[in-house]
Amino acid sequence: MQDILGQSKAVTILQSALTSGRTHHAWIFHGAEGVGKFTTAKAFARVLLCHAPQTDLAGQLEACGNCDSCQLFSHPDAAHPDLHIVQKELAVNSSVAQIRKRKLLSIPIDLLREFVIGGETTDGKFHDAIASKSSALRHSKVFILDEAHLLAAVGQNALLKTLEEPPPNTYFILVTHQLDQLLITIRSRCQAVSFGALPDDIIHKWLADNDLSLSERETQWFIHFCNGSLGLAQLSKTYDLVQWARDILPDVVSMSKGKPAPALGSTMAEKINSLAKAWVDSHAGASKEAANKKAAHLMFHLLSQYARSRMQQIAEQAPLDDPITNEQHLGPWLCLIDSLTIAQQVLSSNVNLTLVMDHLASHWQQAVNTQCYEPLRWR
């Protein structure tokens, strides 16, 4: 666990649980996407599953690296029989044909029944509860529920009993970036650990290790865009989001200075579309709908980070004691940030992507260039 980057607060909480010898059996790791929650969950699982954890020089409990369990962890291709990772992608392995065929948008209760809590699935088959079986290596078992917010309320309710009366030596780690989507009853049974944004120097270091050939200004943009998420840095590399910025931001800047940018809406829509396609092509069973949402979310993040950086500049330039000027200058940008949320909601109701992006672009131009601004309206 000493290799986990930039999450010393979370690691300290987990270490003190481990060294106390009374580790809670149910955890929620929450915080922004791409800050190391899932990586930490696996590292924590490695210590929990280790047959002979050792205290290192810093007084931290670490996995021994030699026992049967640790050996399995060091072979990335060997599945550990006592580490159960439940995520929506697991659906492709389901014995329930209906689940195998469906689009991966959520974690269906059938998947939970088949791989964790047992019970009857919609095809009438009965599954034993894997959570109640003894561990294969005769030590302990860990279940990591990735993107746990994708479990609908019915699934979360079904999980409650297992969390309340956990089988011996069995641990559950629910990983989520949407804590508010978990039922209060689930949250109250778990110990929550919050993961903050990673410090900028970690993104700087990542950039040094991954040469993206960025200019100094682009480096600054990149750090701001990633906002403390290594996951986002990696995604930006895979899908060349720096090129998005190069192609889109000049239009956004000139539009914000009053020059029209008629092609901006369709350029944004094209980029969202092609990222979504690339995503579906490289993720077996991925749904185009979910990929569209993900790609659009990245575009809205790019736009909102630009609006935020403009607001920061305005706030730095304007005299502090001049609330009216501040309000006049900041108002349109605040309004645009609200509009991005509205555009995102409109998109989830399956409105044509190019239409939404076109509408958003002309709304942007109007908001920053006139004194009459109000959030985006959609009829």
Which DSSP category does 113 fall into?
I
Residue 61 binds Zn ion, judged by CB under 5 A: no
How many residues line the site for Zn ion (CB under 5 A)? Answer: 5
User: 224 is written with which tokens?
Assistant: 């701001």
At its nearest, how many Å lie between Zn ion and the CB of residue 50? 3
The letter for the amino acid at 342 is I
Distance CA 239, CA 278 (A): 8
Is-contact 225 200, C-beta < 8 A? no
State the nearest-atom distance from the C-beta of 53 to Zn ion, in Å: 7
Q: Cβ of residue 29: shortest distance to Zn ion, in angstroms? A: 22
Q: How far is the CB of 202 from Zn ion (least distance, A)?
A: 28
For 348, left (φ over 0), alpha (ψ -120 to 50), or beta?
alpha
Q: Does residue 50 belong to the site contacting Zn ion (CB under 5 A)?
A: yes
Judged by CB under 5 A, the stretch of 59-67, 211-219, 272-280, 361-369 that binds Zn ion is 59-67
Which of 64, 136 has the CB closer to Zn ion? 64
Residue among 109, 87, 85 at smallest CA distance from 98? 109
109 binds Zn ion (CB under 5 A): no
Is position 64 an interface residue for Zn ion (rule: CB under 5 A)?
Answer: yes
Interaction between residue 74 and Zn ion (CB under 5 A): no
Q: Does 153 engage in binding with Zn ion (CB under 5 A)?
A: no
- For 163-200, give the secondary structure using H, E and C: HHCCCCCEEEEEEECCHHHCCHHHHHHCEEEEECCCCH
Minimum CB–partner distance for residue 48 and Zn ion (Å): 10
Report how far apart, in Å, the C-alpha atoms of 86 and of each of 103, 174, 207, 283 are: 16, 10, 31, 17
- For Zn ion, the closer CB: 51 or 237: 51
Q: How far, in Å, are 85, 107, 232, 263 from residue 155 at the CA level?
A: 16, 8, 29, 45
Q: Does 70 bind Zn ion (CB under 5 A)?
A: yes
By CB under 5 A, residue 235 contacts Zn ion: no
Span interacting with Zn ion, options 20-28, 60-68, 144-152, 186-194, rule CB under 5 A? 60-68
- 8 A C-beta contact, residue 28 and residue 191: yes
- Nearest Cα to 230, choosing from 1, 57, 6? 6
Find the binder of Zn ion among 63, 223, 233, 248 (CB under 5 A).
Answer: 63
Q: How far is the CB of 62 from Zn ion (least distance, A)?
A: 9
Under DSSP, the state recorded for 179 is: G
Nearer to Zn ion, 15 or 339 (CB): 15
Euclidean distance between CA atoms 308 and 232, whole angstroms: 18
Q: Is 67 in the site for Zn ion (CB under 5 A)?
A: yes
Residue 139 or residue 187: which is nearer to Zn ion going by CB?
A: 139
> With CB under 5 A as the contact rule, which of the stretches 69-77, 118-126, 129-137, 232-240 interacts with Zn ion?
69-77
In this structure, what are the phi and psi dihedrals at residue 60, rounded to the nearest 5 degrees?
-90, 145
Q: Where on the chain is the footprint of Zn ion (CB under 5 A)?
A: 50, 63-64, 67, 70
